[in-house]
Amino acid sequence: MNKKQMIKEQKKLKAQRKEVETLFKDDKDVLKVFKIALGVLLFIGLVYVGMNIINGNWKLNKGSKPSTEIDSQMLIAGTMFNKEEGEYLVLAYDMQDKKDAFYAALVSNYSSTPNLYLLDLSSGFNTNFIGEKTVISDDLGKLKFGGPTLLLIKGDKITKSYTTENDIVNYFTKK
């Protein structure tokens, strides 16, 4: 090998060494960024867990199990004619509305009323039965609730209906 070739080889080797050194520097930078990102994600996760524990969304004590009882007083509109009792009442109202407390108090004050069932209009199961105005029909395809409604049902027929708040209160106060 002559001198010129040796100098060229040395320059090539120096260039390769510099390239390798810059790659290692870039890897160190990538590792630093990865550590920072992992730290940020860990911090966000800890804040999320802490907030859910503080807000009560997550219970730490496993001692009390949630109740799995089914409220036998609640109905779905599609099954409201399937009760075995001869005559019964169905009070349909939006249990997510401001007036929920009013109707809940009305029902609890007159809980001695036999065969009283509740129908939650805010339930997703009953969305097909909500309309602009109340339409009373024995045919479930035509039945619509436009607001709170009290129905007196005998067999599979609606015998009486009360569609205003005053009528509903008057029915319960007469009992």
The DSSP-derived string for the chain is: --HHHHHHHHHHHHHHHHHHHHHHHHHHHHHHHHHHHHHHHHHHHHHHHHHHHHHTSS-S--SSPPP----TTEE-GGGTT--SSSEEEEEEE-TTSTTHHHHHHHHHHTTTSTTEEEEETTSGGGGGGB-SS-B--SSTTT-BBSS-EEEEEETTEEEEEE-SHHHHHHHHHH-
Please name the residues in contact with 121: beta carbons below 8 A apart, sequence gap of 6 or more. Answer: 92, 93, 94, 95, 129, 130, 145
pTM of this prediction?
Answer: 0.56
Model confidence over 108-135: pLDDT tens digits?
Answer: 776 666 678 888 888 888 888 888 888 8
Q: Confidence class of residue 85 from pLDDT cuts 50, 70 and 90?
A: confident
Number of residues assigned to the chain: 175
Tokens of 120: 């939650």
CA-CA distance, 28 to 19, in Å (whole number)? 14
Q: What is the pLDDT of residue 68?
A: 46
**How would you label 17-46 residue by residue, b for 16+ Cβ within 10 Å and e otherwise?**
eeeeeeeeeeeeeeeeeeeeeeeeeeeeee
* 108 strand-pairing partners: none
27-71 residue pLDDT tens: 677 788 889 999 999 999 999 998 888 877 776 665 555 554 445
Whose tokens are 């090539």? That residue is 12
For residues 23 and 30, give the distance between their C-alpha atoms in angstroms, rounded to a whole number: 10
Q: For 133-165, what is each residue's pLDDT tens digit?
A: 888 888 888 888 888 888 888 888 888 888 888
Any idea what the Cα angle at residue 155 is, between residues 90 and 124, rounded to 5°? 40
Question: Residue 26's pLDDT is what?
Answer: 65
Nearest to 13 by CA among 1, 24, 21: 21
